[in-house]
Amino acid sequence: MGNPVAHSRSPEIHQMFAAQASIKIAYQRIQVDVGGFAQAVSNFQANGGQGLNITVPFKVEAWELCDVLCERAQTARAVNTLWFDNAAIHGDNTDGTGLANDILSNLQCPICDKRLLLLGAGGAVRGVLGQLLTHRPASVVISNRTVDKAVELVQRFRKLTQCNLRGCGFEEVKGLHVDIVINGTAASLRGEIPPLPPLHINDEALAYDMVYADRPTAFMNWASDLGFNKISDGLGMLVEQAAESFHIWHNVRPQTAPVIRTLRSGA
């Protein structure tokens, strides 16, 4: 469920997972009007629906609607996966695990002891921050257009980490030494990039855009110009978070690599 949802590749991904596991599923995009989310979930449940993924802009409403929350969702205060146990609505957030799995397993980039720069302080960054911190980075800087939102996130997550965590605006990251920079702003969706000053990077540094597209995003082009050797969009994250949801619903852990390959090939 989301709004908009027509662009979502999740139905293809879940059908590929279901084929691997020889499970028959019906997984469809449901466009929901703003203001109609709780009713839409109730209708879905009443019609025998068993699980839901939630995307923009309903992840916070989904969190509020849950009777039972997993720790990841509680920390994020946002939910992207719902399921039902009798009348109770259960919620989890698989975005952070999806991002961490993509960086660690698919891209083979360690997070432990690395210096992270997160751009943005909206739902996406809030959803992944807790999981990234569990991988014990050396430092995390959250840089956002609206500085107060970055500072508020830092205040809330500080108690979860020993690492150096700080929030600031874009100008203040000038000359920062970073190993991994993750774009969690919605700027790429409009072909824009945050107004970033130059950063210090080394040959192993990774630039990661949570947005996925069939061609390099504006952020990926910026990273290439700055000399990053490792650059990725968010398709792997999308598939990895879907795999976590699939595991919750079906108790089967699907293989993600062939699904990512198929999606990248445009098949």
Ligand X SMILES: NC(=O)c1ccc[n+]([C@@H]2O[C@H](COP(=O)([O-])OP(=O)(O)OC[C@H]3O[C@@H](n4cnc5c(N)ncnc54)[C@H](OP(=O)(O)O)[C@@H]3O)[C@@H](O)[C@H]2O)c1
Between residues 205 and 237, which has the closer beta carbon with respect to ligand X?
Answer: 237
Which C-beta is closer to ligand X: that of 81 or that of 185?
A: 185
Is 207 near ligand X (CB under 6 A)? Answer: no
* Residue facing ligand X at closest CB distance: 122
SS3 127: helix
Please report whether residue 31 would count as binding ligand X according to CB under 6 A.
no
146 binds ligand X (CB under 6 A): yes
Is residue 110 close enough to count as binding ligand X by CB under 6 A?
no
Half-sphere exposure of 156 (CA within 13 A, CB side): 17
Among 145, 158, 166, 247, binds ligand X (CB under 6 A): 145
Rounded distance, CA 171 to CA 173, Å? 6
Q: How far is the CB of 182 from ligand X (least distance, A)?
A: 10
32, 210, 218, 220: residue in contact with ligand X (rule CB under 6 A): 210
Q: Is residue 237 near ligand X by the rule CB under 6 A?
A: yes
Rounded to whole angstroms, the Cα distance separating 51 from 30 reads 12
Q: Is 264 in the site for ligand X (CB under 6 A)?
A: no
- Which 40-99 residues touch ligand X, going by CB under 6 A? 56, 95
Binding segment (CB under 6 A) for ligand X, from list 19-27, 29-37, 61-69, 119-127: 119-127
**51 φ, ψ to 5°?**
-160, 155
Which residue number, 144 or 161, has a Cβ lying nearer to ligand X?
A: 144
Say what the alpha-carbon torsion angle 32, 37, 41, 44 is, to the nearest 10 degrees. -30
Residue 120 interacts with ligand X (CB under 6 A): yes or no: yes
Report the length, in residues, of the chain: 267
Site for ligand X in 176-205 (CB under 6 A): 184-187, 189, 192, 194
Contact call for residues 140 and 118 (beta carbons, < 8 A): yes
- Whose tokens are 């997550």? That residue is 157
> Helix 257-265 to helix 10-21 angle, to the nearest 10 degrees?
130
Residue 84 or 186: the one with the smaller Cβ distance to ligand X is: 186
Give the one residue of 11, 110, 122, 216 binding ligand X; rule: CB under 6 A: 122
Residues β-bridged to residue 172? none
Transcribe 214-262 into DSSP letters.
SS--HHHHHHHHHT-SEEE-SHHHHHHHHHHHHHHHHS-----HHHHHH
Q: Give the whole-angstrom CA distance, residue 99 versus residue 120.
A: 15
Q: Which sequence positions are flagged as catalytic?
A: 59
**Residues within the interface to ligand X (CB under 6 A):** 56, 95, 120-125, 144-146, 149, 184-187, 189, 192, 194, 210-212, 234, 237-238, 241
